[in-house]
């Protein structure tokens, strides 16, 4: 039964517009059912078969007699790589050179579709008509060969065997040059070497070189060259011998000693071999230069007699481990004098061990830079403060590089200063004295190396500060053995810093990690800006006198500030132990539950006042404002203690009522007093009227 949402094999293949036009097969896994494209049926001549192949192994079975390297081709697929998600190989048919590869194009619910594709690189000898018979012989040579232009390094001709070896088509080769088949890390000195090859006439052996195929897998090829006339000019003819298998199996130990030594001498890796009793059997010229010995001084001598001390113990432990386990061993060694990192590969064999080593300093430096940037990018967002962010940055860099000490200068009130509590890191206690000396210094913009880094906003590196005239702390540097120094300007939100790093050894610009510091100034500066903003918001949240709380829509408290304890008296631990409804005034609990329901159900922003019973038994009124965030599933609430405001308002209302009552009493008193004062006056007037009447009579 077809799973819902998953197309059938036929439907899925029909969704590829070019499926039928390519030599390809679509396989449904794990059922193993396949569908062949029309071009696949035509190319492999399946048309007219009563029964076409139903599975990929049966398809391969039908190719017997159609592929020259059938056994090797099918064995690698069925016995070694059938479970690989991707695969690449080349093959010969009777008339063609093909590129074969597969990849998974769909995977869902335990069902996947794998697409097998054959691409025609060339038809054998398809260029032989363009030239004379000699040129046609070139295309049919059994050994891979190509011609390239000595100036441009572009490919001029590539024979069939080379197409098969590298997996590129003839058209792809025509658009490439010799550097394109070399791994990127091997290209640095390649162009000059090849041009020297082009100037030498005659047949010359050029040693073993590392190339890569179309699928980026390495090939070790032994190269023989000859400068020849070609179409009115000159070209370099290259004959290649694939020695990859020989190199990968202890570099031709099955061949004669002379041939093995010839191969090893031509390698770019340093190499030597030791017998079971730790005597040098052979060594190539590269290793002799590194070891500082000649062949006569080295061959037959015991390695531990020539090299002793703590370093020899380091190597002896690892060489003995490889011999005892009879397994290859890979390890790194850092040269104390230069800081360079060497990679050692030890291969045990019946007579002793073979040791290959090369300088991987640049490779490790790039890896270190990436690891440091990755680590600080992951850790800084989780830091509790900006200061801790700097400490994380300093510790990560100093532990991963040659820098041993770091500290932070900050621009403040027109000067660049080093504060006593500023972030710093030291891998050695000896730097503490130097830091104390630095605390006495401050710089104006443009003054000294620190001031110049600040004003120019550019990173500055000094190989030896003891010889730098602009370095204003030379005496302290000499006293504490400070040598190399680098400073980086860093602009965050509203702060400007200068970060400086020191070490007690001299390092060159290459080992200063200046490119990494440039990325830190750009990328990590943003992280510090975000951390500053977080810290400011965190201070506001924690130090506010109002109650703050963040909770989920279902009521789970995520964070609350210190004001809860300061206002209500309950510690965070106590608040977690009981239902917060219990500390709400009994008369306000229904009001609280209604407000909570409105927030949860309708995602409303509401305001309401609730009375709480404090731990000390007091009643306090909190005015709440809540904001719901449905997209984040959170509720943000802020509460203000309005108890004093309410008490003041109540007192004011009582005072107003008292004043009104007092005013009424005064009005009554005034009325009565006025009435009592008027009564004697009326009596006097009446008496006066009577007296006047008597006189007149």
In a shared domain, residues 214 and 335: no
**pLDDT above 70 for 172:** yes
The alpha carbon torsion through 36, 38, 43, 45 (nearest 10 deg) reads: 80
In a shared domain, residues 352 and 389: no
Strand order in the sheet with 145-148: 155-158, 145-148, 233-242, 218-230, 204-212
Residue 451: per-residue pLDDT? 94
Residue 254: per-residue pLDDT? 46
Q: Which two tokens stand for residue 27?
A: 């396989």
In a domain, 274, yes or no: yes
Higher pLDDT, 416 or 378: 416
Residue 531: per-residue pLDDT? 64
The percent of residues in the chain predicted with pLDDT above 70, rounded, is: 84
User: In the structure, what pLDDT confidence band is assigned to residue 290 with cuts at 50, 70 and 90?
Assistant: confident
Total domain count, the chain: 5
Encode pLDDT of 659-671 as tens digits.
777 666 666 656 6
3-state secondary structure of 307: coil
In degrees and rounded to multiples of 5, residue 514 shows phi and psi of -65, -35
**pLDDT above 50 for 532:** yes
In a shared domain, residues 96 and 153: no
Q: In whole angstroms, give the CA distance from residue 458 to residue 237.
A: 50
In a shared domain, residues 465 and 613: no
274 CB-side CA count, 13 A: 20
Which residue is it, tokens 């046609």? 136
**pLDDT above 60 for 421:** yes
Among 147, 151, 196, residue whose Cα is nearest residue 174: 147
Encode pLDDT of 604-659 as tens digits.
778 888 898 898 988 888 888 888 888 778 888 888 888 888 777 777 777 777 77
**pLDDT above 80 for 674:** no
* Sign of the dihedral through C-alpha 315, 316, 319, 322: negative
**Which CATH number belongs to the domain containing residue 430 in this structure?**
3.30.450.40
In a shared domain, residues 576 and 511: no
In a shared domain, residues 185 and 284: no
In a domain, 676, yes or no: no
Q: Which two tokens stand for residue 623?
A: 């005015």
Encode pLDDT of 244-283 as tens digits.
887 776 544 544 555 566 666 666 688 899 999 999 988 8
In a shared domain, residues 519 and 370: yes
User: In the structure, what pLDDT confidence band is assigned to residue 592 with cuts at 50, 70 and 90?
Assistant: confident
**pLDDT above 60 for 125:** no
Look at the pTM and tell me if it is higher than 0.75. Answer: no
In a shared domain, residues 452 and 586: no
In a domain, 651, yes or no: no
Domain-ending residue, one of 247, 270, 301? 247
Among 345, 346, 340, 347, residue whose Cα is nearest residue 363: 340
Q: Residue 30, preceding bond cis, omega within 30 degrees?
A: yes
Q: In whole angstroms, give the CA distance from residue 172 to residue 509.
A: 39
In a domain, 535, yes or no: no
Domain-ending residue, one of 324, 339, 359? 359
In a shared domain, residues 550 and 580: yes
In a shared domain, residues 370 and 492: yes
3-state secondary structure of 451: helix
Q: Among 211-215, 430-434, 529-533, whose mean pLDDT is lowest?
A: 529-533
- CA 109 centroid distance within chain: 30
User: Residue 60 belongs to what domain range?
Assistant: 9-123
Domain-ending residue, one of 75, 92, 123? 123
Asked whether the beta carbons of 208 and 286 are under 8 A apart, the reply is no
361 membership: H or E segment, kind and range: helix 361-379
**pLDDT above 70 for 180:** yes
684 membership: H or E segment, kind and range: helix 643-696
In a domain, 199, yes or no: yes
In a shared domain, residues 389 and 519: yes
Q: Which two tokens stand for residue 534?
A: 């977080």
- What interhelical angle do 386-400 and 361-379 show, nearest 10? 160
User: In the structure, what pLDDT confidence band is assigned to residue 447 with cuts at 50, 70 and 90?
Assistant: very high
User: In the structure, what pLDDT confidence band is assigned to residue 227 with cuts at 50, 70 and 90?
Assistant: confident
In a shared domain, residues 29 and 148: no
Encode pLDDT of 1-47 as tens digits.
344 456 788 888 888 888 999 999 999 988 889 999 999 999 998 87
């Amino acid at each position: 039964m077809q799973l819902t949402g998953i197309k059938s094999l036929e439907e899925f293949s029909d969704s590829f517009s070019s499926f039928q036009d390519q030599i390809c097969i679509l396989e449904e896994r794990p059922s193993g059912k396949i569908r062949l494209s029309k071009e696949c049926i035509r190319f492999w001549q399946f048309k007219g078969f009563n029964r076409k192949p139903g599975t990929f192994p049966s398809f391969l079975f039908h190719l017997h007699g159609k592929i020259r390297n059938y056994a090797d081709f099918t064995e690698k697929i069925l016995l070694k790589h059938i479970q690989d998600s991707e695969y690449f190989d080349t093959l010969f048919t009777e008339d063609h050179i093909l590129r074969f590869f597969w990849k998974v194009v769909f995977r869902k619910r335990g069902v996947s579709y794998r697409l097998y594709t054959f691409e025609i690189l060339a038809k054998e000898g398809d260029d032989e008509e363009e030239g004379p018979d000699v040129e046609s012989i070139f295309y049919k040579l059994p050994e891979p060969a190509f011609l390239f232009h000595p100036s441009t390094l572009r490919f001029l001709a590539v024979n069939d065997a080379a197409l098969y070896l590298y997996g590129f088509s003839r058209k792809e080769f025509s658009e490439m040059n010799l550097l394109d088949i070399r791994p990127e890390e091997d290209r640095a000195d390649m162009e000059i070497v090849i041009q020297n090859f082009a100037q030498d006439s005659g047949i010359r052996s050029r040693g073993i070189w590392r190339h890569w195929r179309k699928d980026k897998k390495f090939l070790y090829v032994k190269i023989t060259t000859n400068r020849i006339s070609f179409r009115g000019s000159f070209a370099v003819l290259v004959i290649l011998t694939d020695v990859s298998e020989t190199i990968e199996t202890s570099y031709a130990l099955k061949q004669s000693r002379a041939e093995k030594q010839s191969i090893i001498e031509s390698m770019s890796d340093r190499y030597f071999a030791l017998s079971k009793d730790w005597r040098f059997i052979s060594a190539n010229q590269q290793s002799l230069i590194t070891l500082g010995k000649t062949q006569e001084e080295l061959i037959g001598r015991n390695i531990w007699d020539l090299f002793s001390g703590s370093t020899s113990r380091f190597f002896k432990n690892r060489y003995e481990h490889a011999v005892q386990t009879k397994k290859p061993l890979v390890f790194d060694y850092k040269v104390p004098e230069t800081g360079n990192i060497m990679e050692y590969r030890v291969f045990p064999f019946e007579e002793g061990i073979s040791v290959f080593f090369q300088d991987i300093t640049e490779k490790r430096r790039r890896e270190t830079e990436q690891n440091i940037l990755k680590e600080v990018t992951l850790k800084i967002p989780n830091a509790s403060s900006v200061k801790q962010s700097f400490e994380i940055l300093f510790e990560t860099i100093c532990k991963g590089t040659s820098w041993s000490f770091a500290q932070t200068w900050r621009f403040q009130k027109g000067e660049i200063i080093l504060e006593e509590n500023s972030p710093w890191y030291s891998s050695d206690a000896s730097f503490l004295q130097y830091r104390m000396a630095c605390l006495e210094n401050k710089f104006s913009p443009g003054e000294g190396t620190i001031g110049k880094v600040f004003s120019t906003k550019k990173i500055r590196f000094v190989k030896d500060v003891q010889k730098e005239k602009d370095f204003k702390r030379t005496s302290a540097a000499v006293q504490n053995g400070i040598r190399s120094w680098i400073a980086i300007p860093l602009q965050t939100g509203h702060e400007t810093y200068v970060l400086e790093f020191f070490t007690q050894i001299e390092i060159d610009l290459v080992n200063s990690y200046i490119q990494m510091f440039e990325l830190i100034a750009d990328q990590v500066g943003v992280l510090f800006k975000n951390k500053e903003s977080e810290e400011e918001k965190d201070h506001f949240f924690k130090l506010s006198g109002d109650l703050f709380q963040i909770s989920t829509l279902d009521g789970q408290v995520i964070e609350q500030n210190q004001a809860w304890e300061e206002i209500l008296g309950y510690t965070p631990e106590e608040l977690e132990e009981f239902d917060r409804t219990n500390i709400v005034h009994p008369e306000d609990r229904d009001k609280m539950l209604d407000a909570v329901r409105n927030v949860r159900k309708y995602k409303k922003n509401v305001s309401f006042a609730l009375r709480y019973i404090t731990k000390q038994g007091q009643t306090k009124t909190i005015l709440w404002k809540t904001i719901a965030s449905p997209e984040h599933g959170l509720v943000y609430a802020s509460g203000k203690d309005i108890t004093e405001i309410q008490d003041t308002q109540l007192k004011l209302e009582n005072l107003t009522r008292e004043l009104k009552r007092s005013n009424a009493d005064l009005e009554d008193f005034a009325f009565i007093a006025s009435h009592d004062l008027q009564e004697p006056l009326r009596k006097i007037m009446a008496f006066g009227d009577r007296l006047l009447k008597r006189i007149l009579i």
